[in-house]
Amino acid sequence: MFDSALQRQIMGRFATGVTLVTARSDEKILGMTANAVLSLSLDPPLILVSVNKKNQMRKFLKKSNCFAINVLRDDQEEISRRFATPGPKDFSDLELVESKTGSPVLVNALAFIDCQIVQVVPGGDHDMFIGKPLAGETRDGNPLIFYSGQYTQLIS
């Protein structure tokens, strides 16, 4: 019998990177760990992040109208864990700069892409936020990987 536990197990075999989605609304900033992120379209450029309706990030994104996706490095597992917990988020020890949309971006991430939200599409218990990229950058390093419910690293 197919159920959500089996779906989790199957899709857990799909290894992904890990990102920190960040946004600013008024003077507040918020971040959420996410791997349901994809490069939706190249022409025009569009980025998609899927956010659970229960997460505070969903309401926040509707207000901020922007988001940045920060691709985490293999030494940033602690950041991923910290922002995968409900409740207030502590940015105090993180080196951040403000990107074009006002979203805070991590100086030490592997890459970032800063987007203006152009569409919100409901999908079951999630909302899909589609953003038009306005800025971004890549940096050197190795990615943090999430596979089968565990953090891991690339072996080369």
Of 25, 52, 65, 116, the one binding ligand FMN (CB under 6 A) is 52
Residue 44, C-beta contacts closer than 8 angstroms, at least 6 positions apart: 132
Q: Is 79 in the site for ligand FMN (CB under 6 A)?
A: no
Nearest distance in Å: CB 87, ligand FMN: 6
Helix (H), strand (E), coil (C) string for the chain: CCCHHHHHHHHHCCCEECEEEEEEECCEEEEEEECCEEEEEECCEEEEEEEECCCHHHHHHHHHCEEEEEECECCCHHHHHHCCCCCCCCCCCCCEEECCCCCEEECCCCEEEEEEEEEEEEECCEEEEEEEEEEEEECCCCEEEEECCEEEECCC
Q: Give the nearer residue to ligand FMN in terms of CB position, either 50 or 153.
A: 50
Nearest distance in Å: CB 57, ligand FMN: 3
Q: Is 57 in the site for ligand FMN (CB under 6 A)?
A: yes
Q: Is 51 in the site for ligand FMN (CB under 6 A)?
A: yes
Of 36, 40, 96, 134, the one binding ligand FMN (CB under 6 A) is 36
Q: Is 123 in the site for ligand FMN (CB under 6 A)?
A: no
Do 74 and 143 touch, CB atoms closer than 8 A? yes
Q: Is 23 in the site for ligand FMN (CB under 6 A)?
A: no
x/- site string to ligand FMN, residues 83 to 112, per CB under 6 A? Answer: -xxx--------------------------
- Where along the sequence are the contacts to ligand FMN (CB under 6 A)? 18, 32-36, 50-52, 55-57, 84-86, 146
